[in-house]
Amino acid sequence: MKILSIIWYIASILILYLAFRGTIRYRFINLNIKNIFGSIKSKSKNNIKPLSSLCISLAAKIGVGSLSGIGLAIYYGGIGTIFWLMIVSVFISINTYIETITGMKYREKVDNKYYGGPSYYIRKCLGNKILSIIYSILIIISYGLLFLSIQVNTIVTVTTNMNIGSYYVVIILMITIMIIIRKGIKSITRVNSFLVPIMLLFYFGIGIYIIILNYHIIPKILLDMIREAFNIRSIIPIFLLGMQRAIFITESSVGTSAISASSCDNEPDKQAMLEVLGIYI
């Protein structure tokens, strides 16, 4: 576990360093609210719409990581972790901007369909075929086995508490997923374009409802959050925990945004700004 922690810290520091360089290089473009929201109006030249591509990206970001992950952050580091989580999320969004543009620049077109992402620009830009293969294998294992198993386990746990048999739930999930992915990216895009907006409505709706119910303690919560975030005795572990949660939740620097964005024939800059919007959401 210590080795994994060391790797996490090294990777996190590198991601922050790249975010700092990228922010200076692109003159704080990830904070340009006008351009971020203006990218919503952009249009694609193929069947994959820019907003549909964003929905695929958001489908991966909104879920277990951004709910239970926050709970774990507060449990282990206190409420101060949320302050650094928000700051780091906005800061590292420049990495998502850069990886999206790079992914679209080095993507390939096969049978009128675009394919791109880190495995493509690692091979073409860096000229390292072995590293691109390693990345492809790792991302398949991460999503195909690890991330999805967490999602499924959460669903099964919740439904089991509702006296629904776990085997039935797993079978229904398997059949549903098979139907969705069987026809490829168009089918996945269509389903996500329908489900993700509904997810967002529930997500924000419940959040606003909770805030309204507890409006009288919101000022105290915000003050406690800032006070704990800058507690001299524990600021370093709180910051590191918030930083790691931010990277995990936003998937910034992981490369998944570049993969989904590459399928859309939009202007690279505008599509990249849409992916930054996904981080803000």
CA atoms in the 13 A half-sphere facing the CB of 59: 19
Cβ neighbours, 10 Å, residue 203: 17
Cα–Cα separations (whole angstroms), residue 175 to 155, 180, 219: 15, 9, 47
Residues 56, 259: Cα–Cα separation, whole Å: 10
Of the candidates 16, 96, 26, the residue with the CA atom closest to the CA atom of residue 276: 96
User: How many residues would you count in the chain?
Assistant: 281
Determine the pLDDT at residue 233: 85
Determine the pLDDT at residue 64: 67
Record the tokens describing residue 54, joined without a space: 């964003």
Determine the pLDDT at residue 1: 67
- Model-level pTM? 0.86
Residues 114, 37: Cα–Cα separation, whole Å: 25
Residue 165's contacts (CB-CB under 8 Å, 6 or more residues apart) are none
Residue 38's contacts (CB-CB under 8 Å, 6 or more residues apart) are 273
- Phi and psi at 42, nearest 5°, equal -65, 155
Residues 196, 155: Cα–Cα separation, whole Å: 17
Residue with tokens 């992402």: 117
Determine the pLDDT at residue 20: 92
Model pLDDT for residues 1-50, shown as the tens digit of each residue: 678 888 888 888 899 999 999 999 998 999 988 888 888 888 877 777 88
Determine the pLDDT at residue 50: 83
Instruction: Flag residues of the chain having pLDDT under 50.
Output: none
Determine the pLDDT at residue 216: 95
CA atoms in the 13 A half-sphere facing the CB of 161: 5
Helices (H), strands (E): how many in the chain? 14, 2
